Amino acid sequence: MNEQEVFQLLACAGQQTLETMFFTMPDVVSTGTERPAGPLIAASLTFEGSPPGRFGAILSEPVGRSMAANFLGAEDEEALSPAQIAEVSGELANIICGAVLTDLESNAAFDLSSPIPIYVPADDPGPDYAAGAPVTCRFDLPEGAIVLYLAFGTGA
């Protein structure tokens, strides 16, 4: 499967996850890799299987907050704790990564590590998930953006 086909899987899995479990839809889906503006939440995980690899998600903090409110059914998103927002961002990464791997290799079992979410201040360079990740997918939403990174062959 080439990079364009994997991008399509990533885009489909991302949109389906955002729609069904986070009750939102992106305005634009692209291959853009540029870091979203402002503070971020980053979540990464590795997977073992055939093939192994790693997956990363970077979210604008307002996107992470809004999605956590949708996921948890919170009426006041300002009342959410950073830990809750980080955990939900980790779930987003976990669900999208699992969906992509299932679509890639429906007959092969795989194991996902637990997602590790971190807060990244606006002036912090943050983790470089793009390094060595040939497939990226960017979702632009009204509150900011989500960028997903997928790399194979460098699993845990």
Q: Where along the sequence are the contacts to other proteins (CB under 8 A)?
A: 13, 16-17, 20-21, 68, 71-73, 84, 87-88, 90-91, 94-95, 97-99, 101-102, 105-112, 114
- Quote the strand ranges of 70-134, DSSP E: 111-112, 116-120
Cβ neighbours around 90 below 10 Å, total: 21
Q: How far is the CB of 49 from other proteins (least distance, A)?
A: 8
Token reading at 140: 């632009």
Nearer to other proteins, 33 or 98 (CB): 98
Q: How far is the CB of 94 from other proteins (least distance, A)?
A: 6
Please state the φ and ψ torsions of residue 78, each to the nearest 5 degrees.
Answer: -70, -20
Nearer to other proteins, 2 or 107 (CB): 107
Q: Which of 128, 94, 120, 146 is nearest to 41 (CA)?
A: 120
Nearer to other proteins, 37 or 156 (CB): 156
Residues with Cβ within 8 Å of 138's Cβ and at least 6 positions away in sequence, in order, are 28, 29, 30, 31, 32, 33, 34, 145, 146, 147, 148
Token reading at 150: 């997928």
Q: How far is the CB of 153 from other proteins (least distance, A)?
A: 19
Distance of CA 107 to the CA centre of its chain: 24
Nearer to other proteins, 4 or 106 (CB): 106
Q: How far is the CB of 8 from other proteins (least distance, A)?
A: 17
Nearer to other proteins, 23 or 28 (CB): 23
Q: How far is the CB of 123 from other proteins (least distance, A)?
A: 28
